[in-house]
Amino acid sequence: MFRSAIMNYRAFALMGIIGLTGAWQSAHAHTRLKTPVIQENAANHGSNYNDVVIGHGCQNTTDGASTIDTLGTVVVFPDGKDSIITTGTVDGAAHTGTLSDFVTNWGSPVTIIQDSSVFSHQEYIKDSLGNKLGFWTGGGKVLKAGYRGVFPFTTAGVVIEPTSCAKSVTFVVAIADICEITDTSGFSNATVQLWTPAVGSIYDGVGLHGYNSPATLKVTRSIAPLPSSCGDGVDVFVKPSKAQLERDLRINFNGTQIWPK
Ligand SMILES: [Cu+2]
């Protein structure tokens, strides 16, 4: 009797904890990568399977709850050419050299995994050389508010420059979850969720729900040991530039830009 009372009490306490955790998660489940930290991958044709996870839809203007369905999402990785490279922290000291000082093979990081279980269309976002820097997916069904969406892709193997002092390289990803197709002046918590680094682009979303809260992919050093002269090594951060976001973070469909309008 006493024992089962304790068990009941424990179960009740546990439910309370889970309930609290659940509430906390639903308030904070921003759009992120399912696997945000990976190791270097030097295998031939090496790749890492991942997903963009949309945690919630857009917010209605009545009570601010995330009750608005999502129509599509756009995902862009830094191109590594005109990217913003810092060391120490994501807003740390600017690195004056190039990404190749830290990463030997960044070029075409993204491969789409074909899937139409939520949205019907998937298309690459490429640079002028054909490098696959991201993708958009949308159309067909909506992602219903209150449900989560998982959008699969792979990242190419990343090799950290063996002679560098990088102990990790974190790529900052720009994502826009679109709930209503508008022009940039129509961006609001009800029309779009912008998970972008604030780099001064038209996609900063100052004051909006996801302001300066982008998803990241951290690649940790795991192949060549740090040179002894490096001490503890350095964390490196790579953000897409304003110029890249304003070029690449958009939806082109059959040669016509449909988002933003
Ligand atoms: Cu959120």
pLDDT, tens digit, 9 for 90 and up, residues 204-222: 999 999 999 999 999 999 9
Tell me, in angstroms, the distance from the centre of ligand 1 to residue 111's CA: 26
Residue-wise pLDDT for 66-93, tens only, equals 999 999 999 999 999 999 999 999 999 9
Cα(121)–Cα(201) distance, integer angstroms: 26
Pairwise CA distance, residues 115 & 14, whole Å: 37
pLDDT of residue 228: 96
CB atoms closer than 10 angstroms to residue 15: 10
Residue 41's pLDDT is what? 84
pLDDT of res. 46? 74
For residues 14 and 93, state if they share a domain.
Answer: no
User: What does the pLDDT read at residue 44?
Assistant: 64
184 & 158 share domain: yes
Ligand 1: centre distance to CA 206 (Å): 15
State the Cα torsion 137-151-189-36 to the nearest 10°. -130
Same structural domain, 106 and 121? yes
Rounded to the nearest angstrom, the distance between the alpha carbon of 138 and the centre of ligand 1 is 20
- HEC secondary structure over 52-108: EEECCCECCCCCCCCCECEEEEEEECCCCCCCEEEECCCCCEECCCCHHHCECCCCC
What spacing in Å lies between the alpha carbon of 208 and ligand 1's midpoint? 10
Together in a domain, 12 and 120: no
Do 255 and 132 fall into the same domain?
A: yes
Residues 196 and 163 reside in one and the same domain: yes
Please indicate, yes or no, whether residues 195 and 243 belong to a single structural domain of this protein. Answer: yes
Q: Structurally, how many domains does the chain consist of?
A: 2
Residues of the chain above pLDDT 70, percent: 88
Q: Report the C-alpha gap between 201 and 243 in whole angstroms.
A: 7
| Ligand 1 center to 244 CA (angstroms) | 24
Cα of 131 from ligand 1 centre, angstroms: 30
User: Are residues 192 and 178 part of one domain?
Assistant: yes
Cα of 27 from ligand 1 centre, angstroms:
6
CA of 222 to the centre of ligand 1 (A): 32
Q: Give the integer Cα–Cα distance in Å for 218 and 16.
A: 33
Looking at the fold, whether 63 and 155 belong to one and the same domain comes out as yes
Distance 41 CA to ligand 1 centre (A): 31
Residue 110: the pLDDT is 97
For 156-188, what is each residue's pLDDT tens digit?
999 999 999 999 999 999 999 999 999 999 999
60 and 178 within one domain: yes
Q: How far is the CA of 165 from the centre of ligand 1 (A)?
A: 35
Which range of residues forms the domain containing residue 14?
1-29
What's the 135 CA to ligand 1 centre distance in angstroms?
A: 21
The mean pLDDT value for 142-163 works out to: 97
Do 149 and 208 share a domain, yes or no?
Answer: yes
CA of residue 193 to ligand 1 center, whole Å? 8
Length of the chain (residues) = 261
